[in-house]
């Protein structure tokens, strides 16, 4: 079985939609789907027809790390796949209280910390999935793929298996055309996701993870901490540039004194 294998892979003859934030998890998922489509598509007419079977969908919901959308666009352009960035910033007036969208400091530390609950955007994934399902129906897609993973469960209720199971059940009956909701990484943590991507030869300098949308990644928010931990556990140095003066568990102690290096 391919290292990129995902549960309930695309059939190869109907489109699929992937919610692509520009981050590590959805980047790995996107490439996994493309590889699966290449392996299973009935048509051998050429790569372009196969790439058109995977449609990437990104959302601008007013996140302070909007920089991730730039990364998403660049990746999709390089891959030559259909990609749309949808502006839904108007919903922010209804979804107050998150440090990702409001004037609230992004907490530092690991995801399992209680303070990380401030990064929850109310009902975000239900909103994004609902829009993606509608898009899937309009292009006659068979499924929406979503990069929720096992490390998200502690903080984000809308990344847990029970939520995803129910969203899938609703999506199968909400329209005349049933659309599956697939979350292949729901039982995999970021360490495991990165391991899959590295096995595929993916370049993670093309992803953005930090919740602070500054020039370089902060290395301190929960998203950065989890990313660096994943690279350290996989024995690989993160190629993303980080702000100076942070702990870099991905860089071995004997790698020299310059622990601010990004490559």
58-84 tens-digit pLDDT:
999 888 778 999 999 999 999 999 999
pLDDT value, residue 141: 96
What mean pLDDT is predicted for residues 24-30?
97
Domain boundaries, the chain: 16-211
pLDDT value, residue 155: 67
**What is the model's pTM?**
0.85
Query: Is the pLDDT confidence value at 142 over 90?
Result: yes
Residues at the binding site are 20-30, 210, 218, 221, 224
Residues at the binding site for Zn(2+) are 210, 218, 221, 224
Comparing C-alpha atoms, which of 159, 137, 150, 145 is closest to residue 57? 145
Query: Is the pLDDT confidence value at 98 over 50?
Result: no
Angle, alpha carbons 225-231-234 (nearest 5°): 140
How buried is residue 243: exposed, middle or buried, by Cβ count under 10 Å (0-12/13-18/19+)?
middle
CA distance 54 to 74: 16
What mean pLDDT is predicted for residues 77-106?
74
| Nearest-10 crossing angle of helices 190-199, 222-233 | 50
What mean pLDDT is predicted for residues 114-128?
68
Query: Is the pLDDT confidence value at 160 over 90?
Result: no
Cβ neighbors of 152 (< 8 A, separation 6 or more) are: 111, 159, 160
Query: Is the pLDDT confidence value at 165 over 90?
Result: yes
The CATH superfamily of 16-211 is HUPs (3.40.50.620)
Q: What percent of the chain has pLDDT over 70?
A: 76
Q: How far is CA 214 from the centre of its chain?
A: 19
CA distance 51 to 36: 11
How buried is residue 32: exposed, middle or buried, by Cβ count under 10 Å (0-12/13-18/19+)?
buried
Residues at the binding site for ATP are 20-30
Mean pLDDT of the chain: 83
Q: Which residue has the higher pLDDT, 155 or 192?
A: 192
Range with the poorest average pLDDT among 22-26, 160-164, 237-241, 259-263: 259-263
pLDDT in tens, 188-243: 999 999 999 999 999 999 999 998 878 999 999 888 999 999 999 999 999 999 99
Residue 226 and residue 110 in contact, taking contact as beta carbons nearer than 8 Å = yes
């Amino acid at each position: 079985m391919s290292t990129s294998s995902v549960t309930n892979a695309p059939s190869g003859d109907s489109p699929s939609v992937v919610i692509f934030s520009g981050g590590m998890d959805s980047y790995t998922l996107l490439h996994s789907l493309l590889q699966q489509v290449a392996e299973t598509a009935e048509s051998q007419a050429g790569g372009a027809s196969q790439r058109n079977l995977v449609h990437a969908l990104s959302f601008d919901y007013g996140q302070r790390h909007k920089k991730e959308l730039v990364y998403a666009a660049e990746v999709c352009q390089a891959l030559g796949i259909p990609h749309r960035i949808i502006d839904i910033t108007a919903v922010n007036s209804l979804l107050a209280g998150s440090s990702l969208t409001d004037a609230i400091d992004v907490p530092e530390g690991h995801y399992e910390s209680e303070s990380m609950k401030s990064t929850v955007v109310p009902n975000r994934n239900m909103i994004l999935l609902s829009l993606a399902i509608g898009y899937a129906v309009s292009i006659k897609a068979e499924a929406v793929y979503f990069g929720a993973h096992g490390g998200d469960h502690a903080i984000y209720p809308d990344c847990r298996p029970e939520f995803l199971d129910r969203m899938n059940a609703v999506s199968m009956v909400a329209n005349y055309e049933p659309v599956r909701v697939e979350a292949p990484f729901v039982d995999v943590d970021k360490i495991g996701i990165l391991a899959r991507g590295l096995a595929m030869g993916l370049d993670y300098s093309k992803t953005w993870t930090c919740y602070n949308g500054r020039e370089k990644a902060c290395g301190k928010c929960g998203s950065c901490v989890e990313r660096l931990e994943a690279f350290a556990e996989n024995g690989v140095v993160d190629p993303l540039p980080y702000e100076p003066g942070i702990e870099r568990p991905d860089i071995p102690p004997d790698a020299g004194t310059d622990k601010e290096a990004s490559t």
